[in-house]
């Protein structure tokens, strides 16, 4: 039981960290090694100053929905962890962690929806003078997709986890 509890907490914190990185880092879409876009900015690496120069990205409705879903996912996963800690110390024996599991599963579904929208509407989101065929999804997009099963599995495990002591 203790091993399952520790494993579940580690899984939750790992998926939360990956989700935060996927939401905030700058490589959601990569045109070249020196030109990238994330959910918030378009960034270009300046060799003269050796720094990233970032500007606001064009706000389409699809991009705003992805931003909102990713933020909701981070918030619900964080709330899920805090609720779990509260339930761990206040819940009676034999009770299940339903609220924690549902919050975590909702975070997984929000992340899934954001990834689907980004996959199917990238032309509207990254509408720019550059040709999208020359670019590719970056590691933040891949991290967001990896978070989907981790969040859903941890949500299901929380729902089936029963407090023993």
CATH of the domain at 141: 1.20.140.150
Q: Is residue 160 part of a domain?
A: yes
**How many Å apart are CA 118 and CA 127, to the nearest integer?**
12
Q: Is residue 20 part of a domain?
A: yes
Non-local (6+) Cβ contacts of 83 within 8 A are: 99, 100, 103
Q: Is residue 48 part of a domain?
A: no
Q: What is the largest CA-CA distance in the chain?
A: 63
Q: Is residue 53 part of a domain?
A: no
Give residue for tokens 């590719």: 136
Residue 150, CA distances (Å) to 34, 95, 122 in order: 31, 23, 24
Name the residue among 39, 52, 46, 32 with its Cα closest to residue 114.
39
Q: Is residue 36 part of a domain?
A: no
Name the residue among 124, 128, 116 with its Cα closest to residue 55.
128
Provide the domain count of the chain.
1
pTM given for the model: 0.86
Confidence band for 132, pLDDT divided at 50, 70 and 90: low
Q: Is residue 95 part of a domain?
A: yes
Name the residue among 54, 59, 63 with its Cα closest to residue 26.
54
Which of the pair, 131 or 90, is modelled with greater confidence? 90
Range of the domain at 146: 1-25+58-164
Q: Is residue 45 part of a domain?
A: no
Q: Is residue 40 part of a domain?
A: no
- Calculate what percentage of the chain has a pLDDT beyond 90: 36
Does 95 score more than 80 pLDDT? no
């Amino acid at each position: 039981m203790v091993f399952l509890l520790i494993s579940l907490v580690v899984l939750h914190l790992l998926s939360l960290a990956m989700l935060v990185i996927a939401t905030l880092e700058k490589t959601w879409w990569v045109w070249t090694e020196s030109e990238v876009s994330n959910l918030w900015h378009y960034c270009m690496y300046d060799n003269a100053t050796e720094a990233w120069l970032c500007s606001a990205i064009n706000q389409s409705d699809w991009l705003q929905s992805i931003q909102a879903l990713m933020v909701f996912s981070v918030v619900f996963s964080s709330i899920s962890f805090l609720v779990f800690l509260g339930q761990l110390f206040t819940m009676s024996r034999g009770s299940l962690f339903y609220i924690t599991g549902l919050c975590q599963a909702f975070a997984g579904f929000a992340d899934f929806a954001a990834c689907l929208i980004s996959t199917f509407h990238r032309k509207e989101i990254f509408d720019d003078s550059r040709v999208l065929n020359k670019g590719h999804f970056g590691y933040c997009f891949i991290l967001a997709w990896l978070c989907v099963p981790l969040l859903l599995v941890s949500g299901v495990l929380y729902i089936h986890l029963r407090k023993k002591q």
